[in-house]
Amino acid sequence: DTAVSQTPKYLVTQMGNDKSIKCEQNLGHDTMYWYKQDSKKFLKIMFSYNNKELIINETVPNRFSPKSPDKAHLNLHINSLELGDSAVYFCASSPGYSGNTIYFGEGSWLTVV
């Protein structure tokens, strides 16, 4: 049983398109995240939700919009994709607010051409 699952795993799309990545966790955690990992492997937090409430919103272009329909799901919608958006996007969850124990999904590899 996959604890944090995200789809799609691979996504190749053209500049200007809109795309979504879906995420679900079956760990019963209250907090979910989106992280971006660039080509140099740097991991940066983008958003965090606790019980469907947005608690972290980093400096991310507003083309990126998260949505949490319930505490087990956190989706990421990206409008007007740009070349620089190419990266691996990780969904993650943790039991509590602090994020000291984070469980990551396998990643969604986004390539914008």
Partner 1 sequence: QQQVKQSPQSLIVQKGGISIINCAYENTAFDYFPWYQQFPGKGPALLIAIRPDVSEKKEGRFTISFNKSAKQFSLHIMDSQPGDSATYFCAAPGTSGTYKYIFGTGTRLKVLA
The residue ranges that bind partner 1 (CB under 8 A) are: 4, 31, 40-45, 48, 50, 55-56, 90, 92, 97-107
Cβ nearer to partner 1, comparing 53 with 82:
53
**Hey, how many other C-beta atoms are within 10 angstroms of the C-beta on 75?**
19
Q: How far is the CB of 108 from partner 1 (least distance, A)?
A: 10
Tell which residue, 14, 10, 64, 13, has the closest CA to residue 35: 64
Q: How far is the CB of 87 from partner 1 (least distance, A)?
A: 13
Q: For residues 34 and 51, is the Cβ–Cβ distance under 8 A?
A: no
Cβ nearer to partner 1, comparing 43 with 113:
43
DSSP bridge partners of 94: 31
Tell which residue, 109, 101, 108, has the closest CA to residue 24: 108
Q: How far is the CB of 17 from partner 1 (least distance, A)?
A: 24
Q: How far is the CB of 37 from partner 1 (least distance, A)?
A: 9
**Hey, how many other C-beta atoms are within 10 angstroms of the C-beta on 59?**
6
Cβ nearer to partner 1, comparing 56 with 72:
56
